Structure 1
């Protein structure tokens, strides 16, 4: 029997998209996957051989504690934690309500830290690994991406710090940085952006209305041309199973090209590149 059949993997945010695909790919490779979902109907959808759904909202301490107890009570070793749960909320810095800022950071940063803290004792015992799903937005913050990119930048920093803390203890920390992925997350992000835009003041709409529309169009285009969730899942599985994983993996051609470019360009040059790219998506002015 393969060694993997005796090991657990936790995947958060496994209801749809990359999380669901990663859970299926890892189960196919012989692991027993605890797939975190928020609703019973999502549990029914993801449940299959090798995949055990667990109700998990990573911002709810009681559910995080229940997950840790489930892992602690299993005789199998915890091989990896895949911190994948996330939401996308896009709006100009001026116009995004503080409650939304806090929600984005609770889900995209603090929730991951809470799950990591809860499962680190098990990972230390098994000399396992933490896989944090970041984003190309963790390297470049486009206009209206302040909250989302801010949380992803912070997740990158936390990952670096954690890696340097636990490497000598046998735990590896890996960051996965996807670009455009064909999942439901982008369509939900566009809907959220439109909802938030409708709440802007007339002055804010005058300042940022066309910018929001342009970013929505760009987001939809980037998603349509992106890789599939299954392709992303194979990269995640590589990070989980490689004997000596890299500290970072990109997903998709756009991430592989843009992330190295970011390191080379000055801030002003990058500003011009991003603005020129976005300009193509601004709504055309109509005349009577």
Structure 2
């Protein structure tokens, strides 16, 4: 049920073309918000446009796009306050650290961290006026960093740190900061991550291919198996809507049973975690590589 406090308020969702972002935009519109849905292409805008969902072309690494978003929020023709910023835009690639080119590292941080911070900085004055909320979409990769996930996990660990500092800084101003940590969610993101990783891996040297080829295969096979049994994007959207609308939201929410279990693993000793992750990855290696050095026994 839509409450009177939700009617006539704005919500901003970045990365709303597909998956969790699109599901969240539609779910918030269903609760009575007017959603400014950030997408990167006109065809994505056409796909998501609906009552209560207003698509905006938004690449969070482009300052002009962020300025346009800020102007749209501040100059809303109906004077509606902004209730929430949902920072969902992200990219992923499952690639070993050695073979992930430094320019690709920078691009991933530009999207997954610096772009998020840029949008937060731009909209904080409006959120402070409305005593709104910042909802940062992290990942279980913001708590643990498995083999093949180093670059992506690095950005999410950083986003978690930013979120903690921001929450403490914003408390006196009445702005809530909430982190969402999804586990396996059935979205298009995994397919893009595998395709991106595959292109990068294809450029590996012969020595790197011998060293990491089986590992990359296992990481992607494990990711596919996990995602197939994951929750739908709508389940993640429901958690995000709760974080936006709850009178006293928690500081963190997990999405899916897997995420709820994984969040406690960092309390185990490092070597114990190494063995747990190695054992979980071992069944996904090609048969001839069961004794691969990356998977100790």
Post-superposition Cα deviations, 1:150-195, rounded to whole Å, max 9, x if no partner, equal: 0000000000000000111100000000000000000111111111
* 1:47 corresponding residue in structure 2: 49
| 1:5-20 alignment runs, 5 A limit | 5-20=7-22
Q: SS where residue 161 of structure 1 aligns?
A: helix
* 2:277 corresponding residue in structure 1: 274
* RMSD over aligned Cα atoms: 1.0
> Is the aligned partner of 1:127 residue 2:127?
no
Q: What count of residue pairs does the alignment treat as equivalent?
A: 285
Q: SS where residue 144 of structure 2 aligns?
A: coil
* 2:216 corresponding residue in structure 1: 212
Q: SS where residue 6 of structure 1 aligns?
A: coil
2:121 to 98, 117, 124: 117
Could you tell me how far apart the structure 2 residues matched to 1:246 and 1:4 are?
19
TM-score by length of 1: 0.98
Which is worse superposed, 87-96 or 208-217? 87-96
* 1:184 corresponding residue in structure 2: 188
Query: What is the CA-CA distance between 1:91 and the residue it aligns to?
Result: 1.1
* 2:199 corresponding residue in structure 1: 195
* 2:292 corresponding residue in structure 1: none
Q: Which runs of 5+ in 1 are unaligned?
A: none
Moved beyond 4 Å, runs of 4+: none
* 2:73 corresponding residue in structure 1: 71
* 2:295 corresponding residue in structure 1: none
Could you tell me how far apart the structure 2 residues matched to 1:36 and 1:5 are?
21
TM-score by length of 2: 0.95
> Is the aligned partner of 1:283 residue 2:286?
yes
Post-superposition Cα deviations, 1:198-221, rounded to whole Å, max 9, x if no partner, equal: 111011111111000000101111
Q: Could you tell me whether the CA contact under 8 Å between 1:193 and 1:216 is conserved in 2?
A: no
Query: What is the CA-CA distance between 1:261 and the residue it aligns to?
Result: 2.6
| 1:87-102 alignment runs, 5 A limit | 87-102=91-106
Q: Which runs of 5+ in 2 are unaligned?
A: 290-297
Post-superposition Cα deviations, 1:76-114, rounded to whole Å, max 9, x if no partner, equal: 000000000001112111111011000100000000000
